[in-house]
């Protein structure tokens, strides 16, 4: 039966997609990860856990709820690579891709980071977990690690390779006498009673099995028989053997090509191949099967229902007598290269390029997060979307630039492709070589874009649907890569020229069709003395005052009043110097030792800075104060490798794109309004049980906020962060205010607009 038919049958029997997303409170986090690519499942006494390429979720067997879980919920890491439940110990162990380890028992998470922190040359991944009594045997890339579950500590490590060398162990099992290890160099066994198992000489190679020195991916002991799968180096046809101690026999009912999993599930041996999960009984007969499209792992719950992790099609089950699937709502992929927010909608590009600006050949996919739900739009004939721009008048109208396949225009599900045949875009040579590195809409609604390594490297799609391209005095035609483009508040176009080539800027004087008044500048990033600081620019953003902030390989630089380039003919950049405050008189450049890959300005004109290895920083408007710093150690941040940052000015939610997917944080700054015509105080009233902040929304930027009691006594005063002000419910003495009505007086920065509202506070 082919995969297409299998997929149809599964779809026919039903599937459920669970949104599971909800509004989050200020200062809270949530992940945005894909959950259809399932590769591991395990049942406990009341839950079914499923690990995916994006995250981890579980299904509760009693009330049928589905919950996503991550570091936000108390786990120590992201990316589960192995997990096993021990019913006797009532313990669930999670091993992560980082080699970190969590022991979960009675709702408590105990972290065991020893393997992750250990300095080991080579592979130290954890591939499987096997329990014997109070011991958990971890199959790792270097050997076997024994965890004592009574002390919750590592007690022994077995290096079982020849001469005591590291050897990748894929899975272990036991018959009560021997411990068997399926490795990349055959099956090895050692006596469990041997007190010197740490000595490689205590282990012997099983030589009577076919392909005895090859790769064995799975091993399980069941009903007096040892089963083992031999991996085909070509990845075409694995072999499954079994033995009762008197020679090995090919298992006749293994009809698949790849053996993904082999586990003793008590009453049955579960075998997962590339077509289905097969349950094998005591007579070694297949008595039950459940087919999938791309099965990877299976488990049985206490009711005897099957659960199958299908890579690409969620967690499948026959619970209730019908086959159906669970796929928590999320984006299509963990890959994210560019994000844009508008009108409360997030758009994200699944794509990317290599560090040398060559193709990765990722299918062109646009991810949309709207009304708390993710949806994906695919263009399977296109590749490598790397830049997005949203129509400011219609957040569902999106332009996406691809590295080689031209410009894609999305209007809902409708996609229009612009290439050299229907636009001014040019190709480097025949084929897919129309490389768009950046797109940006100007205040008039014209769409500007960079077009790398061609004679006319700047193009614009005008509002009337016509196109025009610019030779730009041949200043940037020969560069292999042109990156992001920014249209400043002055109408100037700024372009990143990657790989250490600085910037390009142009002024078309708001006359697109008249090139006689155009000015083009190739710009080096220099200090006030004309000395180059760095030309390695990775990101940029214009702040609310019109200053241009640059993310470079030497931290953050600022070009103040960048329009002066076209007045004075030159422009210089400045470092943001942060005093050490140690009496030395020295100062350090803001993030001067980091590569700053993303800059985003929030509603309060503060800067969110993303780095290539150090996570995320939020700094004050002038960059002098570090307000927040998030990394994978001190926060739920998925990774320290930041690809992009996007701030939703309506909700204040800040989205961080990482090399492991998207995660968001609810910030406290919103975009400012033009008038006080939609002021909201939340919550109102403030109940005695509420302990969170009071948010005053719908404000002008830099609004002065004064709160008084009904008698006119001032109890709190602040300035809004963009369009929102926050009050902790306390007076100037730090005491929670008394029950009563409080007046909130709002005044714009220059006093020309004001507004008054009320709040009921219950102590």
Cα distance between residue 76 and residue 254, in whole Å = 38
What is the rounded average pLDDT of the residues 333-349?
95
Instruction: Read off the tokens for 668.
Output: 């406290």
Among positive and negative, which fits the CA dihedral 183, 184, 188, 192?
A: negative
pLDDT of res. 192: 96
Please tell me the distance from the alpha carbon of residue 479 to that of residue 477, in angstroms, as a whole number. Answer: 6
Burial (CB < 10 A; 0-12, 13-18, 19+), residue 208, is: exposed
Q: What pLDDT was estimated at residue 431?
A: 85
Q: Is the distance from CB of 261 to CB of 275 less than 8 angstroms?
A: no
Q: Which of 374, 366, 367 is nearest to 407 (CA)?
A: 366
Return the pLDDT at 210: 97
For residue 433, CA distances in Å to 420, 427, 498 come to 10, 5, 18
Q: Give dist(CA 304, CA 281) in Å, integer.
A: 13
What pLDDT does residue 382 have?
Answer: 95
Tell me whether residue 302 is exposed, middle or buried, using C-beta atoms within 10 angstroms of its C-beta: 0 to 12, 13 to 18, 19 or more.
exposed
* Residue from 594, 748, 601, 567 nearest 669 by CA: 601
400: CB partners within 8 A, 6+ apart? 349, 364, 366, 385, 387, 388, 407, 408, 409, 410, 439
pLDDT tens track for 120-165: 889 999 999 999 999 999 999 999 999 999 999 999 999 999 999 9
Radius of gyration of the chain (CA): 30
Task: Give the separation between CA 476 and CA 463, rounded to whole angstroms.
Answer: 26
Those residues whose C-beta lies under 8 Å from the C-beta of residue 178, and which sit 6 or more positions away, are 189, 190, 191, 192
What share of the chain has pLDDT > 70, as a percent? 97
Percentage of the residues of the chain whose pLDDT score is greater than 90: 92
Can you give the pLDDT at residue 54?
85
Cβ-Cβ contacts under 8 Å for 156 (sequence gap 6 or more)? 145, 146, 197, 198
Q: Angle CA(750)–CA(755)–CA(761) in degrees, nearest 5? A: 125
Residue 463 has pLDDT above 70, yes or no: yes
CATH architecture for segment(s) 680-761: Sandwich (2.60)
Cis peptide before 683 (omega within 30 of 0): yes
Contacts by residues 512-519 (CB-CB < 8 Å, ≥ 24 positions apart): 512/446, 512/460, 512/462, 512/468, 513/468, 515/470, 518/470, 519/566
CA distance 212 to 227: 14
- What phi-psi label fits residue 476: left (phi over 0), alpha (psi between -120 and 50 degrees) or beta? alpha
pLDDT band at 17 (very low <50, low <70, confident <90, very high): very low
Q: What is the pLDDT of residue 300?
A: 97
Is the distance from CB of 641 to CB of 612 less than 8 angstroms?
yes
Query: Could you tell me how far CA 743 lies from the centroid of its own chain?
Result: 43
- In whole numbers, what is the pLDDT of the chain averaged over residues? 94
CA dist., res. 363 & res. 352, Å (int):
10
pLDDT digits (tens, 9 = 90+) for 541-575: 999 999 999 999 999 999 999 999 999 999 999 99
Tens digits of residue pLDDT in 242-278: 999 999 999 999 999 999 999 999 999 999 999 999 9
The first and second tokens of residue 579, run together, are: 């005093």
* pTM for the whole structure: 0.92
Spatial CB neighbours of 570, under 8 Å, sequence gap ≥ 6: none
Burial of 166 (0-12, 13-18, 19+ CB in 10 A): middle
Q: Quickly count helices (H) and strands (E) in the chain.
A: 3, 66
Beta-carbon neighbour count of residue 534 at 10 Å? Answer: 17
Instruction: Check residue 582 and give its pLDDT.
Output: 84
Q: Is the pLDDT of residue 13 over 60?
A: no
Tell me the pLDDT tens digit for each residue of 267-308. 999 999 999 999 999 999 999 999 999 999 999 999 999 999
Identify which of 70, 45, 44, 46 has the alpha carbon closest to the alpha carbon of residue 56: 70
The model's pLDDT over 320-333, given as tens digits with 9 standing for 90+, comes to 889 999 999 999 99
Predicted confidence (pLDDT) per residue in 607-666, tens digit: 999 999 999 999 999 999 999 999 999 999 999 999 999 999 999 999 999 999 999 999
Is the pLDDT confidence value at 368 over 60? yes
pLDDT of residue 496: 98
Q: C-alpha angle 262/267/269, rounded to 5°?
A: 15
Q: Do the beta carbons of residue 115 and residue 81 sit within 8 Å?
A: no
Which residues neighbour 522 within 8 Å (Cβ) at sequence distance 6 or greater?
475, 476, 497, 502, 503, 504
Rounded mean pLDDT, 454-470? 97
pLDDT level of residue 22 (50, 70, 90 thresholds): low
What is the Cα–Cα distance from 617 to 630, expressed in whole angstroms?
6
Angle at 314 between CA 313 and CA 316, to 5 degrees: 100
According to the model, what pLDDT value does residue 8 have? 29
Question: Is 70 exceeded by the pLDDT of residue 509?
Answer: yes
CA geometry: angle 27, 33, 38, nearest 5 deg: 140
pLDDT tens, position by position, 182-191: 999 999 999 9
**Per-residue confidence (pLDDT) for residue 585, from 0 to 100:** 82
Contact, 348 vs 336, CB < 8 A?
yes
Calpha distance 359→226 (Å, rounded): 46
What is the dihedral sign for C-alpha 532, 535, 539, 542? positive
- Predicted local distance difference test score (pLDDT) of residue 432: 87
Is residue 100 within 8 A of residue 113, CB to CB? The reply is yes
Candidates 579, 574, 613, 620; CA nearest to 596 is 613
pLDDT band at 6 (very low <50, low <70, confident <90, very high): very low
Give the model's pLDDT for residue 12.
31
How far is residue 607's CA from residue 621's CA, in Å, rounded to a whole number?
A: 7
Q: Which whole number is the average pLDDT over 18-47?
A: 87
pLDDT of residue 337: 94
> What integer is the mean pLDDT of 590-616?
97
Nearest CA to 596 among 553, 637, 660, 633? 553
Question: Between 583 and 256, whose confidence is greater?
Answer: 256
């Amino acid at each position: 039966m082919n995969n297409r038919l299998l997929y149809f049958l599964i779809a026919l029997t039903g599937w459920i997609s669970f949104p599971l997303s909800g509004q989050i409170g200020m200062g809270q986090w949530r992940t945005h990860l894909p959950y259809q690519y399932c590769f591991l499942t395990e049942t406990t006494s009341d839950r079914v856990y499923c690990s995916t390429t994006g995250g981890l979720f579980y299904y509760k067997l009693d009330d049928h709820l589905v919950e996503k879980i991550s570091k936000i919920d108390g786990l120590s890491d992201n990316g589960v690579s192995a997990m096993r439940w021990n019913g006797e110990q009532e313990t669930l162990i999670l091993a992560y891709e980082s080699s970190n380890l969590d022991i979960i028992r009675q709702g408590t998470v105990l972290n065991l980071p020893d393997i992750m922190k250990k300095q080991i040359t080579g592979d130290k991944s954890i591939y499987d977990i096997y329990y014997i009594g109070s011991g958990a045997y971890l199959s790792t890339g270097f050997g076997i690690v024994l965890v004592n579950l009574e002390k919750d500590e590592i007690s022994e490590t077995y290096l079982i390779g020849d001469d005591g060398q590291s050897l990748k162990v894929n899975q272990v099992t036991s018959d009560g006498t021997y411990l068997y290890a399926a490795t990349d160099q055959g099956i090895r066994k050692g006596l469990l009673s041997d007190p010197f198992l740490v000595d490689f000489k205590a282990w012997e190679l099983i030589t009577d099995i076919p392909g005895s020195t090859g790769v064995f991916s799975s091993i399980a002991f069941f009903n007096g028989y040892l089963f083992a799968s031999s991996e085909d180096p070509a990845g075409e046809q694995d072999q499954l053997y079994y033995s009762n101690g008197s020679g090995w026999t090919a298992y006749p009912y293994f009809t698949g090509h790849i053996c993904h999993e082999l586990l003793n599930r008590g009453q049955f041996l579960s075998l997962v191949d590339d077509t289905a999960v097969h349950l094998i009984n005591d007579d070694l007969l297949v008595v039950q099967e459940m087919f999938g499209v791309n099965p990877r792992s299976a488990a049985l719950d206490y009711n005897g229902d099957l659960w199958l992790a299908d890579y690409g099609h969620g967690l499948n089950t026959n619970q209730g007598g019908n086959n159906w699937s669970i796929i928590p709502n999320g984006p299509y992929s963990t890959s994210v290269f560019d994000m844009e927010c508008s009108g409360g909608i997030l758009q994200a590009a699944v794509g990317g390029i290599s560090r040398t600006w060559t193709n990765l050949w990722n299918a062109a996919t646009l991810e949309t997060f709207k009304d708390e739900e993710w949806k994906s739009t695919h263009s399977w004939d296109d590749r490598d979307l790397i830049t997005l721009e949203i129509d400011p008048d219609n957040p569902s109208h999106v332009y996406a630039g691809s590295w080689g396949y031209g410009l894609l225009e999305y209007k809902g599900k409708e996609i229009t492709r612009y290439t050299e045949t229907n636009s001014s875009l040019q190709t480097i040579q025949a084929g897919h070589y129309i490389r768009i590195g950046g797109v940006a809409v100007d205040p008039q609604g014209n769409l500007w874009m960079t077009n790398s390594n061609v004679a006319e490297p700047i193009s614009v799609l005008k509002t009337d649907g016509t196109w025009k391209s610019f030779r730009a005095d041949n200043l940037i035609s020969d560069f292999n890569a042109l990156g992001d483009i920014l249209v400043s508040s002055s109408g100037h176009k700024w372009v990143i020229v990657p790989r250490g080539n600085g910037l390009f800027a142009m002024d078309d004087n708001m006359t697109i069709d008249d090139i006689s008044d155009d000015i083009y500048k190739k710009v080096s990033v220099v200090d006030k003395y004309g000395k180059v600081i760095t030309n390695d620019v990775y990101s940029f953003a214009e702040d609310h005052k019109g200053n241009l902030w640059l993310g470079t390989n030497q931290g953050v630089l600022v070009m103040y009043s960048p329009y002066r380039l076209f007045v004075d003919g030159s422009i210089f950049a400045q470092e943001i110097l942060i005093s050490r405050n140690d009496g030395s008189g020295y100062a350090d450049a803001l993030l001067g030792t980091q590569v700053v890959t993303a800059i985003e300005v929030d509603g309060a004109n503060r800067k969110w800075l993303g780095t290539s290895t150090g996570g995320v920083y939020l700094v004050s408007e002038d960059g002098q104060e570090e307000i927040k710093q998030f990394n994978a150690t001190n926060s739920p941040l998925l990774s320290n490798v930041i690809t992009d940052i996007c701030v939703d000015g309506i909700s204040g939610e800040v989205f961080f794109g990482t090399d492991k997917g998207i995660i968001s944080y609810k910030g406290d700054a919103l975009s400012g309004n033009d008038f006080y015509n939609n002021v909201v105080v939340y919550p109102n009233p403030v109940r005695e049980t509420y302990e969170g902040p009071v948010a005053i929304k719908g404000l002008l930027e830099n609004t002065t906020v004064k709160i008084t009691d009904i008698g006119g006594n001032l109890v709190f005063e602040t300035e809004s962060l963009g369009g929102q002000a926050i009050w902790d419910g306390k007076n100037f003495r730090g005491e929670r205010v008394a029950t009563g009505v409080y007046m909130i007086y709002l005044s714009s920065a220059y006093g020309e607009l004001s507004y008054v509202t009320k709040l009921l506070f219950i102590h």
